[in-house]
Structure 1
Amino acid sequence: MMELDFSKDIERVPCNTLILCGENDKVNKKSAVKLVEQMSKGEFRTVKGAGHEVNMEASEKLASIILDFLSKFKSILTVKKPNPLKDPVFSDYRFTA
C-alpha cells in the first residue's frame, strides 16, 4: 500500500470534499492541507483541541463540523429527524441522498 500514489488524480475529484484533522495532529495536518490545495472543491477544517484521534478526542465537535459541511447541500439532501424509539443510535439529524 505504501507505494500507491493517487496524487495526480486528486485534482480530478469532482465533488465537494471535507478534509479535516485535529488542530494538534502532528502526523496528518500538513498532508491534509496539501491535499485540499490540490482539490478544486476541497475544504479543510481543524477540530480545536483534538490531536490525531479526532473521533475519540472530540466526537461532538467532529459531528458539528460534519453537519455544518453537509448543511451547505440542503438542496440536494433530505434532512430528517429520526425516531429515537425506532433508531436509538442517532440522537440528532441524519442526511440521506
Structure 2
Amino acid sequence: MTKLIILHGLGQTIKDWDNVVKNLDCDCLVFNLFEGITSESTITIESMYSEVSNKLDSINEPFYLSGLSLGGLLALMYTTRNNNRHIKGIIVSGAIYKSIPKWINNIQTAIFQLLPKSNFEKMGLNGKQAIDLMKSIDLDLEEDLSKITLPTLIICGEKDKINLKSSKQMSQLIKESELQIVLNGGHELNKDKPLELSKLITNFIGLVEGSY
C-alpha cells in the first residue's frame, strides 16, 4: 500500500489530521513534530529539521511526503537537502520558502503572547519556544527549489492571502509541480477543508502512481 508521511503545522497536533487521514486510501503516518520536547528544550527550525530528517532517513520503502505550513517548509528543506531515493512525490500546503517577513513575525509573536498556556501545552511547546522557532526561520530556498525534479503538488487556500503569493511563486520555481487553489479555504486546510484536501492528495498520488 502507498505510504504517506504528513508533517503538521505550528499550533497543530497529529489529531488535527484525523479528518483528512480517514478519507485517504493509503498508509498514513503523521509525525508528531514536538514529541519529546521539554520546557528546557531549545527549538529552532534547524533543530526541528534535524529530527525530521533523521526520521525520514530511516524509512526504507517508497513514500510520499506532505507538509502544511511549518511542516511544508520542513518538507521542502528535506527535499532540497537530501537525495532520498524512496520519495516518490511531495505535497506542500500553505508553506513559505523564504524567511518570514518581519511584520508577519511581529503579528504572530503578539498573538502567541496573548494565548493561554494551555494552547501551547496541547501541542507540546511553551510560548517562548514557539516565538523562538518563528524567529529562527532565516533561509531562502528559491535557488534550491528550481532543482527539485520530483512530482510536486502545491496547495493553498483561496483565503490564505499571506501564503497564496508564495505558493504561486513556488509553482513557477518547481518544474514538475502542479498548483491547486482551494476555494473558500483558509490556511489550515486540514481543519476547514479536510475532504477537499484529501481528494487533492488522493488524485495527485493516483496520477503519479499511474505514470510509473
**Counterparts of 1:25 and 1:65, CA distance in 2:** 17
Spell out, residue by residue over 1:64-93, the C-alpha distance to the aligned partner (whole angstroms, 9 max, x if none): 01111111123367xxxxxxxxxxxxxxxx
**Structure 2 partner of 1:93:** none
Distance 2:202 2:144 in 1: 27
Pick which of 29-38 and 67-76 moved more: 67-76
Q: What residue in structure 2 maps to residue 24 of structure 1?
A: 159
CA drift of 1:2 comes to: 2.7
Structure ranking higher in helix proportion: 2
Select the residue among 35, 38, 43 that pairs with 2:170: 35
Aligned partners of 1:75, 1:61: CA distance in 2, in Å?
A: 21
Partners of 1:9 and 1:24 lie apart in 2 by: 27
Unaligned 5+ segments in structure 1 are: 78-97
Is the aligned partner of 1:2 residue 2:133?
Answer: no
- Rounded to whole Å, the distance in 1 between the matches of 2:208 and 2:140 is 30
Give distance in 2, aligned partners of 1:13 and 1:45: 18
Distance 2:210 2:180 in 1: 22
**Number of residues of Structure 1 aligned to a counterpart in Structure 2:** 77
- Letter matched to residue 27 of structure 1: I
Q: Is the 8 A contact 2:151 2:208 kept in 1?
A: no
Q: Which runs of 5+ in 2 are unaligned?
A: 1-135
Q: Percent identity?
A: 30
CA contact (8 A) 2:185 2:193 kept: yes
Write the letter of the residue equivalent to 1:22: G
How many Å separate the matches in 1 of 2:187 and 2:209? 30
Superposition TM-score, scaled by structure 1 size: 0.72
Q: Alignment partner of 2:139: what SS?
A: coil
Amino acid at match of 1:58: K
Structure 2 match to 1:67? 202
Deviations 1:32-55 (A, max 9, x none): 100110111011101122111111
- TM-score normalised according to structure 2 size: 0.34
- Cα distance between partner residues in 2 of 1:41 and 1:47: 20
Task: Tell me the distance in 1 between the aligned counterparts of 2:160 and 2:175.
Answer: 24
Indicate the SS of the match to 2:205: helix
